[in-house]
Structure 1
Amino acid sequence: MIKDLPENNVTDIAVAVALEGETAERKIWHVYLINQKKENIENVLITSKGYGEKDGEQVKTSTLRHMFTEVAAGTFKQIEMIDEQTFGLNNEYWVSYYIGKQIYDKKFIFLPESIIDANFIKLPVVNKPGVMIG
């Protein structure tokens, strides 16, 4: 059955973790969905979760679900805030969306310790420093 489904490759869609600002006590981070396509995407469903090993024990965060009716071409949407304490885990964002009647989906995973200054770029569209998977 799965072999009968069309292979819809996800391109020009990215998930990014951006540094929003910092106070004396902490840094503030947000996760964004970036639509670099020349067309809108619709009925966007995103699940997010963290998992991995911390202090020698397996750890899993809650699974969160986010829904956007539409993400216009060349724009972005804030998915959620993210706590720096989860950067030592795998942070997974599974994105599904429609273009017309075609469904697309892709899993974006920020590996442990990948959200670091050395990996920062200026995020397209969002125009903030951060790490992006596209």
Structure 2
Amino acid sequence: MKKDIIIPVVKDVYVAIVKEWNDDFSSNDWNSYIINNTREPLETCMIMTRGKHKDGRKTSTMRHAFKVIKARSYEKIELMMEEVFPFENEFIVSYFKGDTLYDKTFIANPNSISESNFKDIPLMDQEGILLD
């Protein structure tokens, strides 16, 4: 029975963390994004974010919903404060493609969010941290 459960593999969907200039506040801000690099839309996409520190501290749990994320596009999830970079930051992503539910947890390890770890981000034409 348990062997009959098929868990679909998440492919070409990522979470990215990028540093961007904010004209309103004249500052560089860190933002997280969900990237759909597939040929199909992601429907009813739910994202839960939270962080936990090895000393027991936790961040608030945030929940975000997107009705549709178009094929080969991206959407901003949330602003990230540098104070949470020493935490293990989780992005739990669930969505439908057709009638199939997909689910994956993306993790940014403590202190991994840094410009020294930047690489090219698909579809965004900029550099940042890519969680896959």
The normalised TM-score by structure 2 is 0.91
Residue of structure 2 aligned with 1:98, choices 96, 115, 119: 96
State the partner residue of 2:77.
79
Matching residue of 2:39: 38
CA distance in 2, matches of 1:2, 1:62: 34
Unaligned runs of 5+ in 2: none
The equivalent of 1:112 in structure 2 is 110
Aligned-residue offset at 1:117:
1.6
Residue 103 of structure 1 deviates from its aligned partner by: 0.2
**Amino acid paired to 2:14:** A
Q: Which stretch has the larger CA shift, 99-108 or 123-132?
A: 123-132
Confirm or deny that 1:48 pairs with 2:49.
yes
Q: Secondary structure, in 3 states, of the residue corresponding to 2:85?
A: helix
Code of the residue aligned with 2:9 in structure 1: it is N
Matches of 1:16 and 1:128 in 2, distance apart?
Answer: 10
| Structure 1 stretches lacking a partner, 5+ long | none
The answer to whether the Cα contact below 8 Å between 1:20 and 1:128 also exists between their aligned partners in 2 is no
Letter aligned with residue 16 of structure 1: A
Once residues 61 and 4 of structure 2 are traced to their aligned partners in structure 1, the CA distance between those partners, rounded to angstroms, is 29
- Rounded to whole Å, the distance in 1 between the matches of 2:127 and 2:83 is 19
For residues 28 and 84 of structure 2, the distance between their equivalents in structure 1, rounded to whole angstroms, comes to: 13
Q: State whether structure 2 residue 7 is matched by structure 1 residue 14.
A: no
Identity of aligned residues (%): 35
**Native 8 Å contact 1:19 1:128 kept in 2:** no
Cα displacement (A) at 1:128? 2.4
- The change in CA–CA distance for 1:2 and 1:31 in structure 2 (over 3 A counts) is farther
Count of paired positions: 131
Question: Structure 1 CA distance, aligned partners of 2:102 and 2:2?
Answer: 14
Post-superposition offset of 1:3 = 4.5
Summarize the alignment of residues 57-76 of structure 1 with structure 2, pairs less than 5 Å apart: 57-76=55-74
Shift of residue 38, structure 1, vs aligned partner: 0.9
Q: For residue 18 of structure 1, give the secondary structure of its aligned residue in structure 2.
A: strand
Q: What are the superposed Cα offsets for residues 61-110 of structure 1, whole Å, 9 maximum, x if unpaired?
A: 11111000000110000000000110000010000000111000000000
